[in-house]
Amino acid sequence: MIKLTINNQNISVEPGTTVLEAARKLKINIPTLCNHDDLCVAGNCRVCVVEQTGARTLIAACAMPVSEGMDIHTNTLKVRNARRHIVELLLTEHRADCTKCYKNQNCELQSLANEFAFGDTIFLDLVEDHDYAIDSSSPSFIKDDSKCIRCQRCVRTCEELQYISAIAVANKGAHQKISSFHNRPMSHVVCTNCGQCVNRCPTGALVEKTAIDQVWDAIYDPEKHVVVQTAPAVRIALGEDLGYEPGERVTGKMVNALKQLGFDSVLDTDFTADLTIMEEGTELLTRLKKALVDGDKKISLPMFTSCSPGWIKFIEHKYPEYLPNLSTCKSPQQMFGALAKTFYAQKRNLDPSKIVSVSIMPCTAKKFEADRPEMRASGYKDVDYVLTTRELAVMIKQAGIDFMNLEEAKYDSIMGDSTGAGVIFGATGGVMEAALRTAYEIVTGREVPFKNLNITPVRGMDGVKEATVKIEGCLEEWKFLEGAELKVAIAHGLVNANEIMRQIKNGTGNYHFVEIMACPGGCLGGGGQPIPTNAAIRKNRMKAIYSEDEHMVLRKSHQNPEIIAIYKDFLGKPNSKVSHELLHTHYVERDHF
Amino acid sequence: MENKGLNKVDLIFEKINPKEVLQKAFNMTSTEIIQDMLDSGLKGRGGAGFPTGLKWKYTAAEKSQDKYIICNADEGEPGTFKDREILDRVSTKVHGGMAIAGKAIGAKMGIVYLRGEYRYMLPKIMIELKDFHKMIHEIGYDFNIEYRMGSGAYICGEESALFESIEGKRGEPRNKPPYPTVSGVFGKPTSINNVETLVTAMMIINHGAKNFIQYGTKDSRGSKVFSVSGDTPTPGIFELELGMTVQQFVNEFGDGDTKAVQVGGASGFCVPRKKFVETIIGFEGVPTGGSMKLFNSSRSMYNVLHNYLDFFAEESCGQCTPCRVGCQQLLKGIEKVKKGEVKSTYLTELTKLADTMKIAAKCGLGQSVGNAFKSIVGNFREEIIY
């Protein structure tokens, strides 16, 4: 243990601890900006400078490991003056139109300015000297360089968590900026639109491209019937933007709020998550049968899940030779969209051209997905507008709804029923667990052999998880699977996805079925979720997801009565012709650069 | 203060038999070589002046299969051109110094990081390097040197940015600790030394530490190669004993009308005429990596400062706030003062900013911008304002 003092308080900490971490243990707050718990140390904003007795310069608390006998002071005149200067300097390069900024009140630079740099500005404005660009080419987010403070959190996120490096540092000195490959627009580089950079941007330099105004317009348009679907991970995170602590389940309040906002029908993506299990599970079993029984060499295994549009774009760019391994199932969002303007329109006797389909997603890549040209199977744009969890929170505030004191309400019908299997789609491993609950039962006629249906080996925050399920006692039709060991793997965060792909490519990863989610923790850590994010927050959200599952009466997708009904009335059976037209899709190879 | 006067020395370019010196070094133990360096009081000749013996001692103490000795030949300080001359005339002594350092720290690999603009020298050096490799293999010593080219960024002369550059990354300084002696290039213990330091080290082995300390002062042992430029009738490269005053230097190199000398380049200090007599060139006074620029009374010190700040605003890597934004503020600040668009008292705010940069910037670049700024504004305030 290393002994040191901070502000005259003694503390012993493990070697390798930083001064910042040691100070936090003493409940001494040192302001930070470029530092982020999910990312490697940068030490470049210098906001966290503190004084070390005997040192020639101040030291960056985030980057300095403790050493024996260190004597640190975090609040001396020297430190205060330097900090004030640093925050002032950042402000001179930053277009501070705070009152009109989307991140107003949720901006780390603004908070620091309030603490350290109020009153007269000392230095000259440099914004006019820079030729700042605003890149709104991506359908998912806007990159506004005039708000950028060069903390490089986005750069580190894209490289360390996502293995993409769509954004990187370019130029030097006064011209240094966060740029893309050859300074091309974000829509034309290898970017998965995952929005993890948006989640970690301390200012308004990276924000989602909002559709709030368009959605309000649709709601107020008397001609339009506006349906809304809510993704599994929204209900366990929305509360964070509306006064709750992370991990609060606010499903009922959210549904009520959506009704009060004026949506004509409040429905659930969990319904199509259940439907995805029916379609994808059947696809997997069919592939296995063709490969194992028919010996069809053209069948691609392992099969990859296809729910995460960030992951889809990743594989389209980076591993296009594996596109045949992707399940052809659309994501639950897009299945819902296609059904909203066909099945739902028929059932409710509505003109599909008058239906506006809105989705609330924990995700920015969903905005890109909804815009894909493949996603118009209904004859219309299947999903018209995608709102992030954050945008929904903004709308709820705009409408003056007292969210915390709201009564709980239930989803409308049809396409509002769901099971616990649908809701766990929001956590890494959830799709796998839901698929196993159903597929095992289809094949054996019995429930999966795990206590309370909780398939714990596929749960948790490990970057890559593996499990083997032995299939025994098969029904007659599935006898070919008797004794087979189904090997599955799960990855979340694209750096882990890349690791699995690497193993599959070099032959060390042998799986039948692989679930991949682009974002850390799965959708619960999505790029459209409330800011901030860190491991503890994501853990709380995960707990809430599984608690939501346990509170459901039905916990297996094939038990969902509306699923049974839709196959009876409309789709026929899983992977039927109608299913293929509406619920399945294809993928495109994309540039590597 | 000790004053040795101005004495020309011939150590760096002195003709020696490199094979003999290397043979001598390879017969010594690592500890003996390091002790010689410690006894000689040799400090790094790149400008920062870290004791070479200590650097080698720390690197030698690290346990690692792979260690590196790096020669920093990214000579980028404005007004410095001595390393070019040294590599051009005595590259074998540079390589020899690296091999000796390698022996001292236990490194088998040496890399010379050569300034991009010096690429034209490479063909000649490569021939000399081939001969050098042949020679040390004849002696029976296993050591290999490679060259890596810079691409013109000033910041890549900063040791950790240089490592990043060698590793193929963007040249940005790293957080320290860990220091290079623990984790340098490719994460391995590394001793990084200036071109001239390595040659001096070889000459210390040749002449012995005892003889070396005859030169220079207590704080600044030995001699140093100076790059003399500016308003002087005799610009060029001169090896001088350390410990002279700026006045003695000006007497030798000035044009009779010298009003200031910029010692140590853009990151160094400006010494005005009134302080020539009292200022020693060396670590006890104004340290220098070799750049000595003389200005006569026809020069505007505003232009001199503007030129330096323009340089820094361009050459900062841009990653840390105090340096990236601070340089722009200092530059724009003196422009506004000059134009009368802000009050002259704004210079006081800028001086405070320079102080903050000195203590809060991430690396030596940002920390030393204030040297030129404060010494020029402090001594020639009226030239900045009017």
Average pLDDT, chain B: 96
- Looking at the structure, tell me whether residues B47 and B152 fall in a common domain: yes
Chain A residues with CB under 8 Å of B364 CB are none
Residues within 8 A of B (CB atoms), A 126-185 only: 126, 129, 149-150, 152, 168-169, 171-176
Is A119 an 8 Å CB contact of chain B?
A: no
CATH architecture of A2-75: Roll (3.10)
In the residue annotation, A433 being an active-site residue is answered as no
Q: Which residues pair with A513 in a beta bridge?
A: A303, A488
Q: Tokens 């000033």, residue?
A: B154
Nearest-CB residue to B321 (from A81, A89, A122): A89
How far, CA to CA in Å, does A549 sit from each of A43, A233, A404, B43? 42, 12, 22, 68
- Can you read off the two tokens belonging to residue A184? 């091309």
- Looking at the structure, tell me whether residues B208 and B338 fall in a common domain: no
Amino acid at A181: F
User: Has residue B6 been placed in a domain?
Assistant: no
How far, CA to CA in Å, does B194 sit from each of A387, B122, B200? 57, 18, 10
Calculate ∠ Cα B108-B114-B118, nearest 5°. Answer: 145
Q: Tokens 């991140």, residue?
A: A103
| DSSP code, position B157 | G
Angstrom distance (rounded) from CA A72 to CA A51: 6
Residue A1 near residue A67 (C-beta atoms within 8 A): no
How far, CA to CA in Å, does A151 sit from each of A109, A205, A386, B172, B275? 11, 11, 29, 14, 42
The CATH classification of domain A103-108+117-208, taken from the options 3.30.70.20, 3.20.20.70, 1.10.238.10, 3.90.1150.10:
3.30.70.20
Interface test with A, best of B321, B362, B367 (most A CBs within 10 A): B321
In the residue annotation, A466 being an active-site residue is answered as no
The average pLDDT across A318-325 equals 97
CB proximity list for A263: less than 8 A, separation 6 or greater: A219, A226, A227, A228, A358
Q: What pLDDT digit, counting tens, does each position of B164-213 carry?
A: 999 999 999 999 999 999 999 999 999 999 999 999 999 999 999 999 99
- CATH number of the domain at B376, please: 1.20.1440.230
Q: What pLDDT digit, counting tens, does each position of A432-471 carry?
A: 999 999 999 999 999 999 999 999 999 999 999 999 999 9
Domain boundaries, chain A: 2-75, 103-108+117-208, 280-327+423-524+552-583
- The yes or no reply on domain A280-327+423-524+552-583 and CATH 3.50.50.60 is no
In the residue annotation, A67 being an active-site residue is answered as no
- Whether residue B360 and residue A122 make contact (CB cut-off 8 A), yes or no, is no
Amino acid at A279: E
In the residue annotation, A191 being an active-site residue is answered as no
Chain A residues with CB under 8 Å of B313 CB are 173-174
* Of residues A417, A399, A367, the one with CA closest to residue A560: A417
Angstrom distance (rounded) from CA A223 to CA B48: 75
User: Has residue B208 been placed in a domain?
Assistant: yes
In the residue annotation, A441 being an active-site residue is answered as no
Name the active-site residue from A240, A248, A279, A280.
A280
Q: How confident is the model at residue A325 (pLDDT cuts 50, 70, 90)?
A: very high
Locate the DSSP E strands across chain B.
68-73, 109-114, 144-149, 190-194, 223-230, 236-241, 258-263, 269-272, 291-296
Is A124 an 8 Å CB contact of chain B?
A: yes
State the ipTM, two decimals.
0.95
State the residue range of the domain holding B330: 301-385
Q: Is A351 exposed, middle or buried (0-12, 13-18, 19+ CB in 10 A)?
A: exposed
- Looking at the structure, tell me whether residues B90 and B200 fall in a common domain: yes
The number of beta carbons lying within 10 Å of the beta carbon of residue B339 is: 8
Strand A225-230 vs strand A265-268: parallel, antiparallel, or unpaired? parallel
- Looking at the structure, tell me whether residues B47 and B171 fall in a common domain: yes
User: Has residue B139 been placed in a domain?
Assistant: yes
DSSP A341-393: TTHHHHHTT--GGGEEEEEEES-SHHHHHHH-TT--TTSS-S--EEEEHHHHH
Number of domains in chain B: 2
In the residue annotation, A68 being an active-site residue is answered as no
The alpha-helical segments, DSSP class H, found in A231-318 are 251-261, 269-292, 309-318
| B2: closest CA of chain A, how far (Å) | 26
Q: What pLDDT digit, counting tens, does each position of A155-201 carry?
A: 999 999 999 999 999 999 999 999 999 999 999 999 999 999 999 99
User: Has residue B280 been placed in a domain?
Assistant: no
Interface test with A, best of B359, B362, B363 (most A CBs within 10 A): B359
Name the active-site residue from A138, A179, A327, A331.
A327
pTM score, two decimals?
0.95
Q: Is A320 exposed, middle or buried (0-12, 13-18, 19+ CB in 10 A)?
A: middle
In a 3-state reduction of DSSP, which class is residue A47?
coil
Q: What pLDDT digit, counting tens, does each position of B47-63 carry?
A: 889 999 999 999 999 99
pLDDT at A293: 87
